[in-house]
Structure 1
Amino acid sequence: MEALSAAQQKMRTAGVSECGINVFSSYFADLQHGATGLIPESTIDPMPPAPRLAEKNFSPAVQAEALGKTAFLKLNGGLGTSMGMDKAKSLIPVRTGESFLRLICRQIRSAREQSGKLLPIIFMDSFRTQRDTLAALDKNMEIPGIPLSFLQGREPKLRRDNLYPVIWEENPELEWCPPGHGDIYTALSNNSLLEDLLSRGFRYLMTSNADNLGAYPSGEIAAWFAESGVSYAAEVCRRTPSDRKGGHLALRRSDKQLILRDTGQTPPADMQYFTDEKRHPYFHTNNLWFNIEALRDLLQKTAGLLRLPLIRNQKTVDPCNKDSVPVYQLECAMGAIVEKFADAKALIVERERFLPVKTTNDLFVLRSDAYKFTEEGRVLLQIPTAPIADLDPQYFCFIHDFTERTRHLPSLREVEKITVKGDYTFTGMEKLRGRVEIGNA
């Protein structure tokens, strides 16, 4: 208990809310008792049949009405440390100087025009991203009485050897981590956002990752969600070989409840099933739809302590130094809330709804002529299947090195996969087709 007390005291000294401390303490107890958060294949069945958005047909008036009752929340706590960044990943230029942040704002302006309503855009930031985000945001996006941004919590990283909060004098900020995007529910319990939205006539909330430009405000999905009458829905896409590591929905055998299983919750012996796109043919996009009143009632009933499944992430205190102290980061997934709603549904959407940028490989493809960017901030694939990029991480992993070597992009419209080995700088004159390997080792 001394390790937990030390962590709790550290959090109180840093001003973490009591709700946040209670949630952390709950996960700490799970960890201490050997919980891993693993969901064996033997305890689940594949997701049952779900409706397809393509099968629906809503009039423009119905779409506009539903869209006008929807608020949009973006998860914006990521720094992009895997790409060598120390600022919000949403500030990365995607095309002609336009960042994720600016393109998101374009999408919201377009939705405002379609609905005729002043729709809210809200960012959940971490303690590392909020200042840069607010400085870059167009203040015209703000709606009186509804914040542009609110802070998610933070928690101490725990030493793997004794579970005490790690001490890292070289950079004390690295002693802390965000508690995963599932912390959105703790953060919402600590503020009045849901009540503020309800008082202004909004009934639905759509949440998504800021680095997924495919998650634009959709009148079609808003209309489907309004018609469904359910408390919660998750967008899912058909899996391809490149999506085998993405989390998926499944039916828990013990109570027939829809649940989420992520990669980190899959026993190593069951990964063959997790990655089998025939057994689990749809992956979870993290584009989520809520009935605001139902979410508010759930958070009030539980005082924000939802006890979602633990994700025990094994890291090092300095993510850029693999020889630094091994730590645990205790997290939960936002989409795991699916198991708290008996009427939860999945909606099958097209792949255009899922365009995340997790690495410079993803950014390379997104910046290419394989995609078209519209005036509304939409991103449209111009070829039947998106190409796959595999760039040498030694020379392309970090955003600075990547930018230096990709100032002149080649056409990828006829490329199935491009692999680059060694130190190579693109000229833009390359003629590429099919499966391509470039070497300059």
Structure 2
Amino acid sequence: MSDAENPSEFEPVQVFPETEEMDLRPGADNCYKCTTCDTACPVAEVDDGFPGPKFQGPEQWRLKRKEDEAVDDSIMSCSNCMRCDDACPSSVPLSQMHNTARGEYVDEQMDKLSREYLRNRILANYNTLAMLGSKVPRLTNAVMGNSLVQTVNEKLLGITGEREFPEFAEQTFREWWEERGGPQVRSEEKRVAYFHGCYSNYNTPEVGKAMVRVFESFGYEVVVPKQRCSGTPMFANGMLDDAKRAAGINAENFKGLIPEGYDIVASCTSCSMSLRQEYPELFDIDGIEDVSNHTYEAVEYLRIHEDLRGAVADATVSDQSFAYHAPCHARNQGLDRQAVELFRELDGVTIEDVGDSCSGISGTYGWKEEKYETSMAIGEEMFDHMHHAEGDVGMTECPTCSMQMNHGTGYEIKHPLQLLEEAIV
């Protein structure tokens, strides 16, 4: 059989030149201006002033190839939902272009003494604030929930006062983990390292606990390495130096576990997206490819390696109905249907997909005073579908999507792992 007849034999194409500096401009040549990315962009749909992903990515890089053009400030209105990546029929690295351009804009053009920069840096480094706030959770919750404090935050920092600040848990996930004495199951064959992220640690430790108990019920040894923020809010705010430091620490703490048989699982789809895609796209760090190749979303991992569908089909829970929203970063990983497909098999549960619209909050995006109305306009379709769904409890894998769902409907929001724990543990 000739090479032409054998589809497994091919010559790799060098898309980017072999230089030490990543240059995305050649990738722009794959764009043939079909505007599919623009029609998929939730920001462009509600904001006529936003030029859209095609301009933010390929067009800017083409301009920069011809002459030394500055990055357009509209790059800061991109929400980093990454829907454009899925929409592009030519596999143009749009979100990689956006992240790179946003980092360049922040480094070279943004006033470091401006309110916007200070606010964005605070939001991007939520882990630092959460670490401090969780030391005295009751006091922090009382202070941050005060309407006067919220008004001051809006006036001084530009953090919207329309949203309720998420409460810190009385006990963080890591405190619980240490109190229980670490892994309760030992195994040479079934091993996972849990990337819990910031929110499951400080705000919703019940999600992390559910993850551990579910995996242990299937015989997995679970370890929880020291870790930093995944970097998702840093990418979205153009703080690439901060993101690279966090990525370096995470890669160092997780890569050594891979040769010992551990895979990496995350309960937040933005965290798994960050480790899987954004790390290797943006950073040349030792071990980053191994971390990327061995990272999974938690339910996804069990669906691959266990008869999860069978376990759920054999289970019964009390009657309950859910309105499920698939986060954009779940869609980007091909996971947008997994919770609906899985829990339709669970006796006692009714679950309804509330459509493919973006929730609108996009991490820190919807927390910015000037972006709040845009975020709510994007989320309006989801809110409407939730109100018309049979269930009055929401479900999603993304912590900030859960904030938006609760904010727009008043519904209690659960993570799929919590229902899975109820069903099989």
TM-score range, shorter chain: under 0.3
Report the TM-score when normalising by structure 2. 0.26
Structure ranking higher on relative contact order (CA contacts 8 Å, 6+ apart): 1
Bigger strand fraction: 1
Report the TM-score when normalising by structure 1. 0.26
